[in-house]
Structure 1
Amino acid sequence: MSTPHVIVVMGVAGTGKTTIGPLVAADLDVPYAEGDDFHPPANIAKMSAGTPLDDADRWPWLDAIGAWAHGRAGQGGVVSSSALKRAYRDRLRAAAPGVVFLHLTGDRSLIESRMAERKGHFMPTALLDSQFATLEPLGADEAGVAVDVSGTPREIADRAVAALRRYDTGRPTPA
C-alpha cells in the first residue's frame, strides 16, 4: 500500500483473523496486534462458557482496539477484531479515522470445520450461528475490502494484500 493505513482484519470467528492478520502485517511491514488480547477477562470467561457477548461487553474491547489503532495512525498496523456490526466499525473509525477493514468471508461449513480443528481457543463452535446472525457485511460506503477465506493461509494473505493495494490505489485523494 502506498500510505500507512491501520488495517482491521474482521469477520466471524474461525475465518482466520489470527492467522491471516500477521501474514498481512508482515507483507506490509507493519506491526500486528491480536484483537483477542484486548478482551477483558470477563469477556473471555463469558465466551468460554458459550455465552455470546452483548454490546455492553464489546464497547470497552472496541475502545481498546480503537486506542491501539489511533496510536498507529500514520505509521500503519494490522489488528484483528470481529467488527461484526456497522456500529462496532463506526466506533473503531471514531477512535481511529482512516482505518481500513479487511473482511474475511467464507462458506459457513468451511469456517465451522476450521473452528473445530482449533486447539486451545476460547471461542466454541456453538457460537458460530450467533456470529453469522450478528454479521453486517461492509457497506459500499465503508473503507475496506472483502476476501474469501478458501485456500491456504498464504493464498488468502496474498489475495488480501493485493485487494488492499488495489483499494488503496483506486481511492480518490482527499480534497
Structure 2
Amino acid sequence: MKTKFNQSTLKLVIMSAMALGSTALSVYTYAGTATSTLNVSVSVAHSCSIDSNPMAFGTYDGNASTALEAKATVVSTCTSGAAALITMSAGASAGSGSAEAPVRRMTAGAGKYLVYQVYSDVARGTVWGNTDPTGVALTGTGVSQTLTAYGSVPPAQLVAQGVYTDQLSITITY
C-alpha cells in the first residue's frame, strides 16, 4: 500500500520536528541548587597630607609703634575621622626658649636677627608651637581643611637693613 504525503503536510511535520528539537536543546534543566558566600573586605588606613603658602610680612619699619602682621594658610587633607595634630618648629634661626613658646627669629646673615611669632588664633594670643598643647588639633573629613597661621613682628626692633627670612617645619601627626 502506497501512502501519499502531501508536500505541505511534510513540510509542516519537518518544521515542527525542528522547532521541538531546538526547544528541547535550549531548555536547561537543573538538578538542584547550592549557595556560597563571597566575603569582601578592605582596610582603610588613616592618612593625611599637608601643604602651606608663604607668610610675607612686607617691609618692616623699626620706628613703628605697632606690630607688623601677616597671615599664611596651612592646608591639610586627612581621611575621614582621622585625628591629627599640626605643629610648627621653632624655625631655622630660633633663639633660646621652649618648644611650647619658641623664640622665632628671621635672619639676614650672621648676627642679624628679627624676632617674630606665629599664632593659631586671630587675636594672636596662642603661639603655634611644636608640642601637643601648642599644636592645632583637627579631625579629618576626607576633604581639604584650611587653617590660618597669624604672624606678628613686634615693633621697635633695632635691626640692620637686609632681607630677613626663616623657615618653619610644619608637621602633621595622625
Name the TM tier (shorter chain): under 0.3
More strand by share: 2
TM-score where L is the length of structure 2? 0.22
More helix by share: 1
**Structure with higher RCO (Cα < 8 A, 6+ apart):** 1
TM-score where L is the length of structure 1? 0.22
